[in-house]
Protein backbone atom coordinates (compact mmCIF):
# COMPACT_ATOMS: atom_id res chain seq x y z
CA UNK A 1 0.00 0.00 0.00
CA UNK A 2 1.15 3.52 -0.77
CA UNK A 3 2.28 5.71 2.13
CA UNK A 4 0.71 9.16 2.35
CA UNK A 5 2.06 12.17 4.23
CA UNK A 6 -1.17 13.13 5.95
CA UNK A 7 0.11 16.53 7.09
CA UNK A 8 -0.32 17.61 3.46
CA UNK A 9 -4.10 17.78 3.92
CA UNK A 10 -4.72 21.46 3.18
CA UNK A 11 -8.30 21.73 4.40
CA UNK A 12 -10.11 20.56 7.52
CA UNK A 13 -13.80 19.60 7.30
CA UNK A 14 -15.85 21.45 9.93
CA UNK A 15 -19.42 20.88 8.79
CA UNK A 16 -21.84 19.45 6.26
CA UNK A 17 -24.77 21.38 4.78
CA UNK A 18 -27.98 19.48 5.47
CA UNK A 19 -30.58 21.77 3.89
CA UNK A 20 -31.78 25.25 3.16
CA UNK A 21 -33.17 27.03 6.23
CA UNK A 22 -35.41 30.08 6.24
CA UNK A 23 -36.21 32.49 3.42
CA UNK A 24 -32.94 34.49 3.20
CA UNK A 25 -30.75 31.71 1.81
CA UNK A 26 -29.39 30.39 5.10
CA UNK A 27 -28.13 26.82 5.34
CA UNK A 28 -28.54 24.33 8.19
CA UNK A 29 -25.16 22.75 8.97
CA UNK A 30 -24.22 19.65 10.92
CA UNK A 31 -21.10 20.64 12.87
CA UNK A 32 -18.21 18.20 12.45
CA UNK A 33 -16.11 19.69 15.21
CA UNK A 34 -15.79 19.06 18.95
CA UNK A 35 -16.40 22.74 19.69
CA UNK A 36 -19.51 23.91 17.87
CA UNK A 37 -18.83 27.46 19.13
CA UNK A 38 -15.82 27.62 16.81
CA UNK A 39 -18.30 28.91 14.21
CA UNK A 40 -18.36 32.22 16.16
CA UNK A 41 -14.85 32.98 14.87
CA UNK A 42 -15.53 31.80 11.33
CA UNK A 43 -15.09 34.55 8.74
CA UNK A 44 -15.13 32.35 5.64
CA UNK A 45 -15.48 28.77 4.51
CA UNK A 46 -14.63 26.84 1.38
CA UNK A 47 -17.25 24.71 -0.36
CA UNK A 48 -17.00 22.39 -3.36
CA UNK A 49 -19.46 23.81 -5.88
CA UNK A 50 -19.66 22.38 -9.39
CA UNK A 51 -16.19 20.81 -8.99
CA UNK A 52 -14.66 24.14 -7.92
CA UNK A 53 -13.54 25.08 -4.43
CA UNK A 54 -15.42 28.33 -3.72
CA UNK A 55 -14.66 30.73 -0.87
CA UNK A 56 -17.77 32.05 0.90
CA UNK A 57 -17.80 34.76 3.57
CA UNK A 58 -19.91 33.98 6.63
CA UNK A 59 -22.40 36.79 7.34
CA UNK A 60 -24.11 35.35 10.41
CA UNK A 61 -24.27 32.32 12.69
CA UNK A 62 -27.28 30.96 14.59
CA UNK A 63 -27.04 27.94 16.91
CA UNK A 64 -29.72 25.30 17.04
CA UNK A 65 -29.90 22.48 19.57
CA UNK A 66 -27.16 19.86 19.70
CA UNK A 67 -24.55 20.16 16.95
CA UNK A 68 -26.48 22.15 14.37
CA UNK A 69 -25.70 25.64 13.12
CA UNK A 70 -27.49 27.94 10.70
CA UNK A 71 -25.14 30.00 8.53
CA UNK A 72 -25.87 32.90 6.25
CA UNK A 73 -23.27 32.87 3.49
CA UNK A 74 -22.53 35.90 1.34
CA UNK A 75 -24.14 35.75 -2.11
CA UNK A 76 -26.44 32.89 -1.13
CA UNK A 77 -29.66 34.86 -0.83
CA UNK A 78 -32.54 32.54 -1.70
CA UNK A 79 -33.73 29.14 -0.48
CA UNK A 80 -33.15 27.82 -4.01
CA UNK A 81 -29.47 28.89 -3.95
CA UNK A 82 -29.07 27.39 -0.48
CA UNK A 83 -30.69 24.11 -1.52
CA UNK A 84 -28.09 23.68 -4.28
CA UNK A 85 -25.43 23.46 -1.53
CA UNK A 86 -27.17 20.54 0.23
CA UNK A 87 -24.69 17.78 1.03
CA UNK A 88 -21.62 19.97 0.53
CA UNK A 89 -18.89 19.97 3.15
CA UNK A 90 -17.61 23.18 4.74
CA UNK A 91 -13.83 23.33 4.82
CA UNK A 92 -11.30 25.71 6.29
CA UNK A 93 -7.58 25.99 5.60
CA UNK A 94 -5.53 23.87 8.02
CA UNK A 95 -3.76 26.99 9.32
CA UNK A 96 -7.16 28.38 10.42
CA UNK A 97 -8.06 25.23 12.37
CA UNK A 98 -8.45 25.31 16.13
CA UNK A 99 -5.25 24.16 17.82
CA UNK A 100 -5.79 20.78 19.42
CA UNK A 101 -4.50 19.79 22.84
CA UNK A 102 -1.61 17.34 23.12
CA UNK A 103 -2.67 13.83 22.15
CA UNK A 104 -5.74 14.92 20.13
CA UNK A 105 -5.88 14.62 16.34
CA UNK A 106 -8.12 15.63 13.47
CA UNK A 107 -10.03 12.70 11.98
CA UNK A 108 -8.65 13.55 8.54
CA UNK A 109 -5.15 12.98 9.96
CA UNK A 110 -6.08 9.59 11.44
CA UNK A 111 -7.65 8.21 8.24
CA UNK A 112 -4.96 6.62 6.10
CA UNK A 113 -2.55 5.78 8.92
CA UNK A 114 -0.85 2.38 8.74
CA UNK A 115 -1.66 0.32 11.83
CA UNK A 116 1.04 -1.86 13.38
CA UNK A 117 1.21 -3.97 16.51
CA UNK A 118 3.85 -3.25 19.13
CA UNK A 119 5.81 -6.14 17.56
CA UNK A 120 5.80 -4.40 14.16
CA UNK A 121 3.18 -6.68 12.57
CA UNK A 122 1.11 -4.82 9.96
CA UNK A 123 -2.62 -4.86 10.73
CA UNK A 124 -3.88 -2.61 7.91
CA UNK A 125 -4.94 0.96 7.10
CA UNK A 126 -7.46 3.15 8.93
CA UNK A 127 -10.32 3.86 6.53
CA UNK A 128 -12.84 5.55 8.83
CA UNK A 129 -13.43 6.83 12.35
CA UNK A 130 -16.76 6.10 14.02
CA UNK A 131 -17.81 8.54 16.72
CA UNK A 132 -19.82 6.47 19.18
CA UNK A 133 -20.13 8.80 22.16
CA UNK A 134 -18.13 6.78 24.67
CA UNK A 135 -14.99 6.72 22.53
CA UNK A 136 -14.12 6.79 18.86
CA UNK A 137 -13.66 3.51 16.99
CA UNK A 138 -11.07 3.16 14.23
CA UNK A 139 -12.16 1.15 11.20
CA UNK A 140 -9.20 -0.69 9.72
CA UNK A 141 -9.05 -2.43 6.37
CA UNK A 142 -6.96 -5.47 7.29
CA UNK A 143 -4.13 -6.89 5.22
CA UNK A 144 -6.47 -9.74 4.26
CA UNK A 145 -9.19 -7.28 3.20
CA UNK A 146 -11.47 -7.80 6.17
CA UNK A 147 -12.62 -4.99 8.44
CA UNK A 148 -11.24 -4.66 11.97
CA UNK A 149 -12.68 -2.31 14.60
CA UNK A 150 -10.28 -0.87 17.19
CA UNK A 151 -11.45 1.31 20.12
CA UNK A 152 -9.60 4.63 20.40
CA UNK A 153 -8.56 4.13 24.01
CA UNK A 154 -5.14 4.36 25.69
CA UNK A 155 -5.16 0.65 26.55
CA UNK A 156 -5.14 -0.13 22.80
CA UNK A 157 -3.61 2.86 20.99
CA UNK A 158 -0.01 3.15 22.15
CA UNK A 159 1.41 5.68 19.68
CA UNK A 160 0.26 7.90 16.83
CA UNK A 161 3.04 9.17 14.58
CA UNK A 162 1.62 11.47 11.90
CA UNK A 163 5.03 12.23 10.39
CA UNK A 164 5.71 8.54 9.81
CA UNK A 165 2.06 7.86 8.92
CA UNK A 166 1.51 5.11 11.47
CA UNK A 167 -0.34 4.08 14.58
CA UNK A 168 1.00 1.47 16.99
CA UNK A 169 -1.56 -0.60 18.88
CA UNK A 170 -1.68 -3.36 21.46
CA UNK A 171 -4.07 -6.02 20.27
CA UNK A 172 -6.42 -7.29 22.89
CA UNK A 173 -8.10 -10.68 22.78
CA UNK A 174 -10.69 -10.93 20.02
CA UNK A 175 -9.62 -7.82 18.08
CA UNK A 176 -7.91 -9.25 15.01
* Fold adopted by 107-169: SH3 type barrels. (2.30.30)
Task: Output the pLDDT for position 6.
Answer: 41
Task: Output the pLDDT for position 141.
Answer: 94
Task: Output the pLDDT for position 92.
Answer: 92
> Cβ distance 127 to 143 under 8 Å?
no
Task: Output the pLDDT for position 26.
Answer: 97
Tens of pLDDT, residue by residue, the chain (176 residues)? 333 444 446 888 889 999 999 999 999 999 888 778 889 888 999 998 878 889 999 999 999 987 799 999 999 999 999 999 999 999 999 888 878 888 888 888 888 999 999 999 999 999 988 888 788 899 999 988 899 999 999 999 999 998 899 999 998 776 65
Q: H/E element holding 47?
A: strand 44-49
> Cβ distance 76 to 103 under 8 Å?
no
What are the residue ranges of helices labelled H in the chain? 79-83, 107-110
Task: Output the pLDDT for position 165.
Answer: 92
Task: Output the pLDDT for position 3.
Answer: 39
Task: Output the pLDDT for position 151.
Answer: 93
List strand residue ranges (DSSP E) for 64-113, in order.
68-73, 89-93
Q: Do domains 9-96 and 107-169 have the same CATH topology?
A: no
Task: Output the pLDDT for position 172.
Answer: 77
Q: What is the pTM of this model?
A: 0.69
Domain assignments of the chain as residue spans, ordered by start: 9-96, 107-169
Secondary structure of residue 135 in the 3-state scheme: coil
Task: Output the pLDDT for position 27.
Answer: 97
Other CB atoms closer than 10 Å to residue 98's CB: what's the count? 13
Task: Output the pLDDT for position 52.
Answer: 86
* The domain defined by 9-96 carries CATH number 3.40.50.150: no
> Cβ distance 125 to 139 under 8 Å?
no
Amino acid sequence: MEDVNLSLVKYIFIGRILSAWGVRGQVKVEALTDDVRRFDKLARVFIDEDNLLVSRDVESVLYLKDDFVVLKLKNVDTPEQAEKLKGAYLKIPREDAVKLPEGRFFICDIIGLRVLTENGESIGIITDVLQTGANDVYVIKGENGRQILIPAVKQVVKKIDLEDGKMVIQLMEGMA
